[in-house]
A and B are shown apart, each in its own frame.
Chain A
Amino acid sequence: MVYANFLLMKEEISLVTVIVILLIYDIFGSPKSLKYFQPTACILVGIHILLNIWPSPDVTAFGGMYHSTAMGGVMKSILSIGTLLVFMQANNWLSSERAIIRRGEFYMITLATLLGMYFMISAGNFLMFFIGLETASIPMATLAAFDKYKQKSAEAGAKYILTAVFASGLSLYGISLIYGTTGTLYFEDIPAGLNSSPLQMMAFVFFFVGLGFKLSLVPFHQWTPDVYEGAPTSVTAYLSVISKGSAAFVLMVILYKVFAPLVNEWQAILYWVIIASITLANIFAIRQQNLKRFFAYSSISQAGYIMLGVISGTAMGMTGLVYYVLVYMLSNLAAFGVIAVVEHRSGKITIDDYNGLYTTNPRLSFVMMIALFSLAGIPPFAGFFSKFFIFAAAAQQGYYVLVFIALLNTIISLYYYLRVVKAMFINKNEQPIARFNSDNYSRASLVVCSAGILLAGILSIVYESIGMFSFGM
């Protein structure tokens, strides 16, 4: 073993360093100095992002187990930025009386799942990928159950871990079948052994389930609404963007790199999964009252849109997907930021509670509105551009009917997003949520998200610089 190999994994090393520093600080810091835990965590993650913002060229280590591409670096940066935003929004909740003693754990567990996602993205071997998947999944269950004294949170944790373990098991079974038919687990060698025999098709489907669960694609979405509703709001935000985003990245990379010979088969599977995800989730979202459930269904349908980038199998699709995830992350985190602040101040979480919010909290309503418009794909917000590019990528490969169905669904989604806008701006309320000032961390994160939503589309450099690192099949 060449120990110098470890130095090649600089993104992972720097993240581990952050975790270790936080661990030492949490254990040995005096109660007085722990006051600065939150800013320290944010600053450390910020430094980590800055150190790795420039993607390094291709690196292969440990005989091909670890394979990091420049695109992987871009994906990791996007996920880290999202995590930083979640940390900023979580401060309110973590400072509350019952959560503050376990505050350190939240940061470390969250960063551990992020580390798992890093390894998934840089895996060059299915074992490595599986370890990453588990590292990203199991701690997530503890996060979902973080408010364990609340029944719903504990329930969410249990539901998550049971479904996650089941999905991982299926995935692992699929991987074993791949090993059985091709004789290797290395990504580079597998394509040569793939010949779309029924056994390999079965292997692929089982493998797909594992990531389909993390992405919460229909029909693997059943856990999503309950877990999203029960988990603490910041954890829900993390689940809905970072966890989902990482799964989308990994699925795309593996389909492009490993399953390229089965392209016709997986395109056929994805085709129907996309239609089912987008349509069913949209129909369910219409009836939701609880905003967290509402965003759960919205995120299922967004996952369907994200998959439109994968189905094309081109570099344009990859750029579109990564850009879409970035924009989706900013929009969803803006929305969850508002939900978290409102929930913290008033304990209210349903759409009806938001009636007349504009009269008392105009700025928060405005942020929520641009987040929803961006999710619905309305210009001049970034969501319009990301939808356009991902549709263009699918249409380029001739999927006009699929794009058309997806577009019809954007109308349904606009309907339910407008329900929230209507509640805030149009509906009258005798006793709207009282006026309040949000804390500086939440405010800063909302400013970043709003600026991103407004500028990420108009400034073409975001899309173009992602495009520099993309590759097709």
Chain B
Amino acid sequence: MNFLSLFVLIPILTMGGLFLSKNLQQIRVVVATGASLLLALAVGLVFAYLGERGAGNTAEMLFTADTVWYAPLNIHYSVGVDGISVAMLLLSAIIVFTGTFASWKMDFLQKEYFLWFNLLTIGVFGFFISVDLFTMFMFYEVALIPMYLLIGVWGSGKKEYAAMKLTLMLMGGSALLLVGILGIYFHSSTTGALTMNLQEIAQAHAMPENLQHWFFPLVFIGFGVLGALFPFHTWSPDGHASAPTAVSMLHAGVLMKLGGYGCFRVAIYLMPEAAKELSWIFIILTGISVVYGAYSAIVQTDLKYINAYSSVSHCGLVLFAILMLNQTAMTGAVMQMLSHGLMTALFFALIGMIYGRTHTRDIREMGGLMKIMPYLGVCYVIAGLASLGLPGLSGFVAEMTVFVGAFQETDTFHRVFTIIACTSIVITAVYILRVVGKLLYGSVVNEHHYALTDANWYERFSTIILIVAIAGIGLAPLWLSDMIRASLGSILAALQ
């Protein structure tokens, strides 16, 4: 058995443990153990991966394992990782770990909550380790459906509406995706030996260009819905605003990255000609995402909506960078996925903590929180600074790489949209500073807020891990960007 499969097996065992656990104490022990094991595994994987590469192993995918699953259709359970999936697995593990601690005080139906949370985890990890289109798609859908109940049962606000909207829109995306995947599958080989294996499809490169023009948009939009591609992003603000804290963290932090990763690994890798031909349409759409998301964030008053629109903007930037189709921008895209995942998780965790104390998320009803809860305030400022791209934090590294990559495309069209996208940096600063100023500084708006307490141990624990990761990437990004850059070879070769 391959150790990558542990990423799926550990959450399954955690679910089994949850079934057996009798009280809250046992539930907490089980989920904390599961999440810690996952984090340890992900860190171990990074070292093992860097070790293998250092030892001169240049295979595209490492730690591969392959078992035939459905022989008549040549579907395999096939796993393997390259630098990009290693980075995404590390991100997912960190967020699952911190999300588990952010849900420490879940007050009702804890067992069910963590069951669904772990099912979501299975989907996320399974997606990133898969090399086979079928299993990839299956895990993608596994990750979607627990969201409905997680938001519908444990959410807040207009949760039923938001849960239904999110589920149906994402299923709509996966409907497009399934047609695309079937199209890829039935054109995966010139000899008639059909395959679902990503690498084999890319090598065979058998799909005629006119068909690529049909299937590329299907797959790209299918994944793009999850990656908050304009105009399919509308599920995201409602969904994030209504979801419980840890689910918002996981959803904005990891699940939206499934979209970017899929666009990249399936749409562009397998249909490169169409990607080159049609990228302009999606550059326009993602350009709109980036700017529109940022502008929308300015006028929001609900903390979660602000952050959700900010996510639309930042995830739009991921897709934008991918579509530049050059090495630097793509490296930046993956860096941006990591960076946005970490800082948005930190944001949502902090918003959850503030909401848990003040019982409001409306910034007009809060003020001067820095005096009352300095720890949470400082964390919020750090997250904000990462978001607006302060050097030394992860946001700067990612956005810098993205824009440097985007400026390498010298024709007018790319130049214009790069400049438009760049303006989002300024707009981001506007809404971040507005929130920080209104929420944390100034006078205390509500008398009752004086009685509130600062963060307790599990809150400190989860925020510190996220901040360390954000600062870590910001201060020492090279190992990461080298790891990602080295793994882009095959995609760039396909694009030549």
Binding site for B on A (CB under 8 A): 316, 319, 373, 378-380, 384, 388-389, 391-392, 395-396, 400, 403-404, 407-408, 410-411, 414-415, 418, 421-422, 425-426, 460, 463-464, 467
Contact A378 to B152, CB < 8 A, known contacts A400-B183, A411-B175: no
- Which residues of the partner chain B approach A411 to less than 8 Å between Cβ atoms? 168, 171-172, 175
Contact of A380 among B134, B138, B179 (CB under 8 A): B138
Cβ–Cβ contact A379 & B71, under 8 A: no
Contact A404 to B175, CB < 8 A, known contacts A392-B73, A392-B182: yes
Task: Please tell me if B70 contacts chain A, counting CB pairs below 8 Å.
Answer: yes
Cβ–Cβ contact A415 & B152, under 8 A: no
Cβ–Cβ contact A460 & B71, under 8 A: yes
Contact A384 to B182, CB < 8 A, known contacts A411-B168, A426-B153: no
Question: Considering the complex of A and B, which 9 residue pairs feature the smallest CB-CB distances, nearest first?
Answer: A407-B175, A395-B182, A426-B152, A379-B138, A460-B70, A378-B145, A467-B72, A379-B141, A411-B171
Task: Please tell me if B142 contacts chain A, counting CB pairs below 8 Å.
Answer: yes
Task: Please tell me if B167 contacts chain A, counting CB pairs below 8 Å.
Answer: yes
- Which residues of the partner chain A approach B179 to less than 8 Å between Cβ atoms? 395, 400, 403-404, 407
- Which residues of the partner chain B approach A404 to less than 8 Å between Cβ atoms? 175-176, 179
Assembly CA distance A391 to B73 (angstroms): 13
* Interface of B, helix, strand, loop or mixed by DSSP: helix
Shortest Cβ distance from residue B223 to the other chain A in the assembled complex, whole angstroms: 15
Cβ–Cβ contact A426 & B168, under 8 A: no
Assembly CA distance A425 to B138 (angstroms): 24
- Which residues of the partner chain A approach B141 to less than 8 Å between Cβ atoms? 378-379, 384
Tell me which residues from 169 to 190 in chain B have a Cβ below 8 Å from any Cβ of chain A. 171-172, 175-176, 178-179, 182-183, 185-186
- Which residues of the partner chain A approach B71 to less than 8 Å between Cβ atoms? 460, 464
Assembly CA distance A460 to B160 (angstroms): 36
Task: Please tell me if B7 contacts chain A, counting CB pairs below 8 Å.
Answer: no
Chain B, Cβ-Cβ closest to A378? B145
Assembly CA distance A403 to B176 (angstroms): 10
- Which residues of the partner chain A approach B69 to less than 8 Å between Cβ atoms? 460
Tell me which residues from 90 to 146 in chain B have a Cβ below 8 Å from any Cβ of chain A. 134, 138-139, 141-142, 145
Contact A379 to B142, CB < 8 A, known contacts A421-B148, A426-B152: yes
- Which residues of the partner chain B approach A316 to less than 8 Å between Cβ atoms? 72
Contact of B168 among A414, A422, A425, A460 (CB under 8 A): A414
Assembly CA distance A408 to B218 (angstroms): 13
Cβ–Cβ contact B182 & A425, under 8 A: no
Assembly CA distance A396 to B179 (angstroms): 11
Which size bracket describes the interface of B in this complex?
20 to 34
Task: Please tell me if B46 contacts chain A, counting CB pairs below 8 Å.
Answer: no
Shortest Cβ distance from residue B221 to the other chain A in the assembled complex, whole angstroms: 12
Task: Please tell me if B388 contacts chain A, counting CB pairs below 8 Å.
Answer: no
Contact A391 to B142, CB < 8 A, known contacts A421-B148, A464-B71, A464-B72: no
- Which residues of the partner chain A approach B138 to less than 8 Å between Cβ atoms? 379-380, 384
Assembly CA distance A380 to B118 (angstroms): 13
Chain A, Cβ-Cβ closest to B135? A379
Summed over the interface, the residue pairs from A and B with CB atoms below 8 Å come to a total of 78
* Interface of A, helix, strand, loop or mixed by DSSP: helix
Chain B, Cβ-Cβ closest to A396? B186
Cβ–Cβ contact B178 & A388, under 8 A: yes
Interchain Cβ contacts under 8 Å between A and B, 17 examples: A379-B142, A403-B182, A404-B175, A407-B176, A408-B175, A414-B168, A414-B171, A418-B167, A421-B148, A421-B149, A422-B160, A425-B153, A426-B149, A426-B153, A460-B70, A464-B71, A464-B72
- Which residues of the partner chain B approach A415 to less than 8 Å between Cβ atoms? 164, 168
- Which residues of the partner chain A approach B139 to less than 8 Å between Cβ atoms? 379
Chain A, Cβ-Cβ closest to B183? A400
Cβ–Cβ contact B152 & A422, under 8 A: yes
- Which residues of the partner chain B approach A408 to less than 8 Å between Cβ atoms? 172, 175
Cβ–Cβ contact B183 & A414, under 8 A: no
- Which residues of the partner chain B approach A380 to less than 8 Å between Cβ atoms? 138, 142
Cβ–Cβ contact B70 & A463, under 8 A: yes
- Which residues of the partner chain B approach A410 to less than 8 Å between Cβ atoms? 171, 175
Contacts A408-B175, A425-B149 supplied; 4 other A-B pairs, CB < 8 Å: A319-B72, A400-B183, A418-B164, A463-B70
Chain A, Cβ-Cβ closest to B71? A464
Chain B, Cβ-Cβ closest to A400? B179
Assembly CA distance A399 to B222 (angstroms): 19
Assembly CA distance A316 to B152 (angstroms): 39
Cβ–Cβ contact B160 & A426, under 8 A: yes
Shortest Cβ distance from residue A455 to the other chain B in the assembled complex, whole angstroms: 14
Assembly CA distance A397 to B490 (angstroms): 32
Shortest Cβ distance from residue B130 to the other chain A in the assembled complex, whole angstroms: 13
- Which residues of the partner chain B approach A407 to less than 8 Å between Cβ atoms? 175-176, 178-179
Shortest Cβ distance from residue B247 to the other chain A in the assembled complex, whole angstroms: 15
Chain B, Cβ-Cβ closest to A397? B186
Per-residue CB contact flags for chain B residues 57-73 toward chain A (1 = under 8 Å, else 0) read 00000000000011111
Assembly CA distance A378 to B69 (angstroms): 19
Cβ–Cβ contact B185 & A425, under 8 A: no
Chain A, Cβ-Cβ closest to B169? A411
- Which residues of the partner chain A approach B168 to less than 8 Å between Cβ atoms? 411, 414-415
Cβ–Cβ contact B185 & A392, under 8 A: yes
Assembly CA distance A396 to B185 (angstroms): 9
- Which residues of the partner chain A approach B164 to less than 8 Å between Cβ atoms? 415, 418, 422
